[in-house]
C-alpha cells in the first residue's frame, strides 16, 4: 500500500490537501485522477485514511470521508458477506460517500440519493467520466444494487 497525498476542492470552495491509501501500483494513477477531479472542480469534503476511524467503514461514510484501502469484507445495509471487498486490496475508492449512498436492489438506502447535490455522482458526472477514463468501474453502473460512491480498478 502507499499513502498518496492529494489536493482537492473542498465544500468550502478552497483547496485542501488530504491522504488516501491505495495499492502501491495504482499510486501514480490515483494521483492523476485527483488532479483531474481538481481540474474539473469536483467538490470533496475530506480525504483521510480510514485508520483515523479505527477502520470502521460506517464512521468514515457518516463523516463523508473519501477513502481507499480498508481491510474488510463486503458490507452495506442488509449485506454481510465473507468475501473481501476491493477496498481490502487498495483497488477501490469511495468518493463523498455520504452523498453517494449504497442503494439496495429493492431501493433501500440509509440516505436519500439526491442527484442535484454538487457532490452527487451520476452517469453524466465529470468525476465518473474521469475514473472511467482510467479504466475504473463505477458502482452506479451495477445492475440491481447500486453503490454510487464506489469506484474500483479491475
The residue among 27 and 88 lying less far from Zn ion, judged by its C-beta, is 88
- Closest residue to Zn ion: CB criterion: 150
Which candidate, 43, 67, 40, places its Cα nearest to that of 56?
A: 67
b (16+ CB within 10 A) / e for 17-41 = ebebbbbeebbebbbebbebbeeee
* 153 contacts Zn ion (rule: CB under 5 A): no
Site for Zn ion in 90-119 (CB under 5 A): 92, 94
Q: Which is nearer to Zn ion, 94 or 96 (CB)?
A: 94
Span from 7-15, 27-35, 42-50, 142-150 in contact with Zn ion (CB under 5 A): 142-150
Q: What is the largest CA-CA distance in the chain?
A: 40
The residue written with cell numbers 480498508 in the block is 70
Does 150 help bind Zn ion (rule: CB under 5 A)? yes
Minimum distance from residue 57 beta carbon to Zn ion (Å): 8
Residue count of the chain: 154
Amino acid at each position: 500500500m502507499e499513502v498518496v497525498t492529494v489536493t482537492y476542492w473542498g465544500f468550502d470552495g478552497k483547496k485542501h490537501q488530504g491522504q488516501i491509501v491505495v495499492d502501491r501500483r495504482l499510486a501514480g494513477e490515483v494521483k492523476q485522477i485527483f488532479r483531474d477531479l481538481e481540474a474539473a472542480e469536483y467538490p470533496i469534503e475530506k480525504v483521510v485514511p480510514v485508520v483515523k476511524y479505527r477502520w470502521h467503514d460506517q464512521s468514515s461514510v457518516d463523516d463523508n470521508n473519501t477513502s481507499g484501502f480498508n481491510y474488510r469484507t463486503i458490507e452495506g445495509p442488509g449485506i454481510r458477506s465473507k468475501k473481501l471487498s476491493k477496498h481490502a486490496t487498495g483497488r477501490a475508492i469511495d468518493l463523498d460517500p455520504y452523498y453517494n449512498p449504497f442503494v439496495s436492489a429493492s431501493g433501500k438506502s440509509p440516505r436519500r440519493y439526491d442527484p442535484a447535490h454538487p457532490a452527487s455522482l451520476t452517469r453524466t458526472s465529470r468525476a465518473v467520466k474521469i475514473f472511467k477514463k482510467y479504466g475504473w468501474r463505477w458502482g452506479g453502473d451495477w445492475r440491481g444494487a447500486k453503490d454510487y460512491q464506489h469506484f474500483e480498478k479491475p
